[in-house]
Structure 1
Amino acid sequence: MRIKVFISSVQKGLGDERLALQILLSTDPFLSLHCVPVLFEDEPTTLYPDPQAYLALLKTCHVYVGVVWKEYGRLIDGLSATHHEYRLSRTLPLPTLVAIKGPNDLARSPETNAFIEEIKRDGHTYERFESTEELQEKVRKRLVRYIKDSYDIEPTSDQNTSAHKTIHIASLFERQRLEVLPWSGIDTSIAVRMVASSENLPVGSINSDEVMHTLWERGYLWKDEDKRFLATAAGIMLLAPDPSKYFAHARIQVAAYAGSVRTATPSDHATIRKPLSEAIDEVVAFIRKNTRHPLRIVGLQRIEVNEYPEAALREALVNALAHRDYEDAGRRVTVDLFRDRIEIISPGALPGNLSLAKLRSGKARSQSRNPNIAQGLVFLGRMEERGTGITRMRDSMLNHGLDAPLIAIADNEVVVTLIGPGENMERILLPENITGGISPAVAEKLNERQNAILAEIVRSGSVTTGWITKTLGVAKDTAFRDVRELVAFGLIEPEGEGRGRHYILKP
């Protein structure tokens, strides 16, 4: 069971704060495992509207968080909805946290001042804050304490460090509430997959209202004054068919060069204009198209070898797109393919106080400039646990027989270089689980000639004893003995008669 945290405030003027708390509860490495944000206006509209339905919703929750600023809100039975919610939280009673924005002497409406005085008379502890980051820090601290006291669960030191750093380095870009992309313009197939993954539900078990509700709850959608769902900036990057219609720098520029230097005329190039998860797939497809894939004969199989391991490519791309500086609207993520390497360039220096040495070591604690975008890529299966991508990319390259990636900072950009095999494609290693279709027990009994015979059958489709005697330089008796043993092992079978007799792989 996850703890339902009811977020209460007037909607006017506190949209940033509400969204910041939603994103905190949805992306924090500890809180996201144990909490879920609940807000009244994300509930589906009922056939018979109940002016106090918000109170019924509050009764289903476990914790109340109220945010107060200047405005009091529309009166319902003499009080604002936020005031009603606060009083009910005290009656139930629920663990209650009130956060008041601004200093004590801030000019507020008379009703708001009276509300604050009531909170003080109740002797209830409240917090003051000036920024959304400060609000997130204080709410997180209180929720962590509540979870520890109530359930004897507490975050690890790594989770705490990651959370505090992310709160202070997270970009405001992804929280933007833009009136440009309504629900009708969203790629609903991606939206459904995101929600199904985030809630551990089958794709076919959720309807559109539930999808919108969950995306709103997690900060990918917001509601305007007319209660229309629209995408936040994070939602645009993940769910818009073409995010570059709204953010020109969301395009990804890819180019392939015949040699080892950048020229004015690449051999192939493309501009990728797709939602982030699909953009990653399209860039990988471009790289596959413009790199080499020689065949290796392994046992009874022809194995296609990739010049670069796909896992390393995906990790490098995901990191570039999830952690780039989107507030820098003048630059795009670029991918350049050369004869000997691939360079993936991401705008923005390393976030926070992360050092290049720590990043290269693979021991850097997770801290995300765009936590909501990163979380969305996790839900869409393009990103695994945050903070482990560099290690996985390095291991993938080494397991492929290549050098570890090079990571550098140049012109306020992060440059990841994957060094290829050059002209020595033989250095590329096959995956450990490739057996070639021959059991280890049988493989141990095969001699070099029999392995060569199998390789020729895989390569050309069949082999004759004449080919064996001529190519391998053995007597006919030896050739016949080798093929009889391969037939006995169940690997090949004869076909045809007389001089037309040849041997093929056994189906």
Structure 2
Amino acid sequence: MKIFISSVRKGLEEERSALKGLIRSLGHTPVRFEDFSAQPTPSREACLKALETADVCLFLLGPFYGHVFPETGQSATHDEWVAAQAAGMPRIVYRKQGVVFEPDQHEFVRVVEAYATGVFRDSFHTSVELMTKVVQKVRELESGASPLAFARLVEQPSMHWASVGAATRSVSSHDAVLQVHVVPLDFPGYSARELDQLSASLMDRIRATRMIGGDIALNPIASDEYVAVGVAASRPPSRGTPQGGKLVECRLYKTGQLSTLATLPRDDLGSILDPDALPQQLAGLLRFSGALSIIQTDRIVVAAGVSTEALVSVDIFDPRHSRQSAQPMGLGRARRPLRTEPDESVTLAALGAGAAEVAPSLAQALIRQASR
């Protein structure tokens, strides 16, 4: 197992040095920027590439924020946090006690500690205390224990299924829309003031996930039931070229439900429910929902659906070539939308480390319905 160690060095020199030997003694490979050889790429890019090869990311939060890169307006550790978050990578976070945090670091710690999707967060005073805690967490990761915990629903929560119409302006009539809904349990909903505050920050939260390109326009959408942001298409699709699935809208309802809408992959013969690609797309939307750092309740209900106004078929998506033939579902009769029927709640880790475990069951349920 490769364990990427992310932190500034200043103020954490002793801890970073001790972790290298400890991780090796546990039979794993530590990855630190100090150990990188000379490379032709910038140091920030080299660190992010190294993080992509890791299995786990271990974050140390000390008093200093670190150098701010002009490309992102963030420190290297902050960039690495966003990258690990987007990848759904297991993260172990330790905050040093007994030190004074500078303002930028205090704000970064607030962001990290507000994100409650399966992240191991703890604190330490000394390097000896840190080593003891790291050994325990690494052993837990070795055991392969799932961060998820399911429970049967006693009562179905109220759920809004998105109507795909004028709101999703970047969706053409040829696109089927995939919906992922997250409903927090035991949540009273938002007051008008709270919803206004979240509406004002929603675009910034979406940008902060780094899952949407900086050149993609975001458009606020007004509604009586929810606040939303539409994601513009990066470029008009060219005829004859297959199109991958794209995020098109994010909605936050007064009730606390968070919904993301995305197009399914499509080619000239319509939208495609790909048994291999659909779980990956669903997992990405779950991680995106978690990365917004909005839902904080311990337990949630997750559901998914697909609009069927456009032609949809269960098939394999090939980004290089359009299909020569297809068998669209429900052709010649009214097509009901595909929807999963949740009967369990799950821990909030479903929006992070557990997304890859939750997504396949959602995908299988949708594909079974489409096949019938």
TM-score with structure 1 setting the length: 0.27
Of structures 1 and 2, the one with the larger relative CO (CA 8 A, separation 6+) is 2
- Could you say which structure has the higher helix fraction? 1
TM-score with structure 2 setting the length: 0.37
- Could you say which structure has the higher strand fraction? 2
